[in-house]
Amino acid sequence: MKFFVDTAELDEIKALLSSNLIDGVTTNPSLIAKSGKNIKDTISNICKIVKGPVSAEVTSTETEGMIEEGKVLYSIASNVIVKLPLTWNGLEACNRLSNEKIPTNVTLCFSAAQALLAAKAGATYVSPFIGRLDDSGIDGVELISQIRVIYDNYQDLDTKILAASIRNTNHVIQVSMLGADVATVPPKILKDLVKHPLTDIGLENFLSDWQKTGQKIN
């Protein structure tokens, strides 16, 4: 499974790149607004340091406006993925942009039926929001399972499942077990994946025992 980091903060991305564990980046209007920076400059700067896919979202709600904005965003860099909402207009825009070989990420997916439509429209990625489903009392992880089964039933559907709205490390494990192609996670959750109390205890014991030997490795 690939990891995309969900942020528009350049410093956060730079800090994670040295691990070589990041395969791409996702942004959205809320993250851009939070950064306080210009969207085109932000996406351009991210694409300069990230080789993998970088999702940049349109803000228009009309088909033609989405297509126009999508082309502008894609012109920034060849690894930009145009993010579109899972609305009827968004699906139409997805289909037309896909026909022009512009990669797309259809976002705000909350049902398997929506995911099927996104795949039929030619989406490169579909982003099911599992955390927001959990908030409404629905098992968000189950949606990943449903989409995986549907997509695997049909060889002509090659849309990737990008698990989004991930709230904790357990979400990451669950979606990976169900076959999500990508998990997009905030930087904090990505770093939390490495943590385990027994690792900390084990390391402390090893170092304590080593200190008693008086040796150095140099």
Q: Which residues are catalytic?
A: 83
CA neighbor of 107 nearest in space, from 46, 151, 171, 160: 160
**Amino acid making up residue 43:** I
8 A C-beta contact, residue 110 and residue 131 = no
Angle in degrees, CA 101, 107, 109, rounded to 5: 125
Chain position carrying tokens 């795949």: 119
8 A C-beta contact, residue 181 and residue 1 = yes
8 A C-beta contact, residue 23 and residue 181 = no
